[in-house]
Amino acid sequence: MEKILTQSEFDTVAAAWTNFIQGASPAEVQALFQASAPAINQYQVSASFGLTSTPTDPSYLVAMLSTPGIAQVAARFVLLPPAEVGVDKPAAPRFRLVLYAADQRGARLSAYYQSDANWQTVEPQQLAAVGGLVPYNLIKGWLNGWTTAATTQQLRPALFATSYGPLQGYNFDLGDFLDPLFAAKTFTNQRLFLRFGLKAYYPAYPESLAAPAQTFGLVVRLYSPSDEADGDELSGPSYDMSKPYPPG
């Protein structure tokens, strides 16, 4: 599937995600984000978009951010069909993010842009190096919540639920995507990552005071060549002022 999706293609893969998460077992959700043998210590921890443009390989993220009238960035969850035989397939089906530019009212202004998936070897209780405009310990807790749940086989459909139904994505303020780019002197070899996290909280409904609820979330961060020692770890400024879609 191309990195720019048609309306029909987006509708298909977005519906595939909703249908999957509504009926999936915990084991199926775990398998979506954990590689199969022999790479069982590989987990999908983020999605990303390249910033470098060439005549044959444009940066679709730059194109999206250049959309006239953009005020928000919508991130939607999609499920792609399994990879073809002979193609790297750490999990099947395949989870991705699709971004598009929206105006202040949420109306779509741009094409649909599909992310790359990023897999990483993660050990239980491994801490992520973090920092940025969201307070350090908040980000650390969110990211480590995801890695802990993934490595202890605790991923389950309830992590992708809202009071309005299955979580289908997030809406970001434009600044969450633009602010990280101010530190970039050049876009060469740089990527914008959306790291996966779990937010623990006590919701108004359903009322449950015995243990906090947990919900899947996204953290935006720029990766620079100088960060090679950290891979896609969050050593730079981190942003998350997103709103769940649907709300609740």
Q: What percent of the chain is predicted at pLDDT more than 90?
A: 49
pTM of the predicted protein model: 0.85
Comparing 34-38, 121-125, 179-183, which segment has the lowest mean pLDDT? 121-125
pLDDT band, residue 231 (cuts 50/70/90): very low
Residues 6+ apart with CB under 8 A from 111: 4, 5, 60, 64, 100
Q: How many domains does the chain have?
A: 1
Q: Is the pLDDT of residue 147 over 50?
A: yes
Spatial distance between the Cα atoms of 245 and 247, rounded to a whole number of angstroms: 5
Express each pLDDT in 51-94 by its tens digit: 887 777 778 999 999 999 999 999 999 999 887 655 554 445 78
Express each pLDDT in 92-121 by its tens digit: 578 999 999 999 999 999 999 999 998 988
Amino acid at 32: L
Range of the domain at 241: 4-245
Q: Which residue has the tokens 């992708």?
A: 160
How far, CA to CA in Å, does 216 sit from each of 156, 159, 197?
10, 6, 6
Express each pLDDT in 184-205 by its tens digit: 767 777 888 999 999 988 887 7
